[in-house]
């Protein structure tokens, strides 16, 4: 069973059909980058896969469960337990410290907080000593690491990252790329990262190119940004 299986997904905004029979699968533990021109529907698909918005047609299965068939309440509950979402804008609670932001999914689920899991993620994502700081006291890279820890807390089947380096400088962006690769290896969660940056895409093992509402091609990255850039130009230019 694939970790994520999207079949014939379509989504329209007014007169514009953004996704047109979009299909993509991620094997368990696979790390895939999704690239495409601005406005091609990359983020739209991530929002559909996470249950934040509805598809007009088609299905998205996460761990064999059809996210597109869920109502809003069920989708929210499923997302907290099975899908980790990382946003470009971090989406942290400014009035909560690092520790409280990380364990937020468990708190919202009225579940007991796994302190050993919290300690593990704080150490793994380089946040030791910052547990009691608030987002305003952190750098952009540190904020994104907190967001990643929150996304990983429930040990999700799939992590969906929407331009996770978009608000970061080059040094912090490179650090997040390394972390994504490490997380994929150690956490065993499948990762789908939406990006326009070939360096970020090259941290994945495979890149899929979105053009005209569909996947136009998919290739191994070889962890080579120059190869990814060339493939992107050949497919999407």
The 10s digit of each residue's pLDDT in 162-183 is 999 888 888 888 888 888 888 8
CA separation, residue 100 to residues 112, 153, 214, 234 (Å) = 13, 12, 39, 45
The 10s digit of each residue's pLDDT in 31-60 is 999 999 988 899 999 999 999 999 999 999
Q: Are 75 and 67 in contact (CB under 8 A)?
A: yes
Task: Spell out the alpha helix ranges (H) of 71-192.
Answer: 72-82, 98-102, 104-108, 115-124, 140-152, 170-187
Q: Nearest 5°: CA angle at 166, between 165 and 171? A: 50
Q: How many angstroms separate the CA atoms of 75 and 48, rounded?
A: 10
Fold (topology level) of 30-54+71-206+217-236: Rossmann fold (3.40.50)
Q: How far apart are the first and last CA of the chain?
A: 34
pTM higher than the cut 0.85: yes
Q: Are 61 and 180 in contact (CB under 8 A)?
A: no
């Amino acid at each position: 069973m694939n970790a994520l299986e999207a079949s014939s997904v379509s989504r329209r905004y007014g007169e514009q059909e953004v996704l047109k029979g979009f299909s993509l699968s991620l094997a368990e533990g696979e790390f895939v980058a999704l690239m495409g021109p601005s406005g091609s529907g990359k983020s739209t698909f991530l929002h559909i896969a996470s249950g934040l918005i509805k598809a007009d047609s088609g299905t998205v299965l996460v761990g064999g469960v059809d996210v597109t068939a869920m109502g809003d309440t069920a989708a929210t509950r499923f997302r907290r337990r099975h899908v980790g979402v990382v946003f470009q804008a971090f989406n942290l609670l400014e009035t909560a410290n690092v520790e409280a932001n990380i364990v937020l999914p468990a708190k919202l689920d009225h579940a007991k907080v796994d302190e050993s899991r919290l300690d593990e993620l704080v150490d793994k994502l380089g946040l030791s000593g910052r547990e009691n700081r608030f987002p305003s006291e952190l750098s952009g890279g540190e904020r994104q690491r907190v967001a990643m820890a929150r996304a990983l807390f429930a040990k999700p089947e799939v992590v969906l990252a929407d331009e996770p380096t978009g608000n970061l400088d080059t040094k912090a962006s490179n650090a997040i790329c390394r972390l994504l690769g490490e997380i994929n290896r150690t956490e065993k969660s499948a990762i789908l990262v939406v990006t326009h940056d070939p360096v970020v895409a090259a941290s994945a093992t495979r890149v899929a190119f979105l053009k005209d509402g569909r996947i136009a091609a998919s290739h191994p990255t070889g962890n080579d940004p120059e190869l990814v850039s060339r493939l992107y130009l050949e497919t999407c230019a």
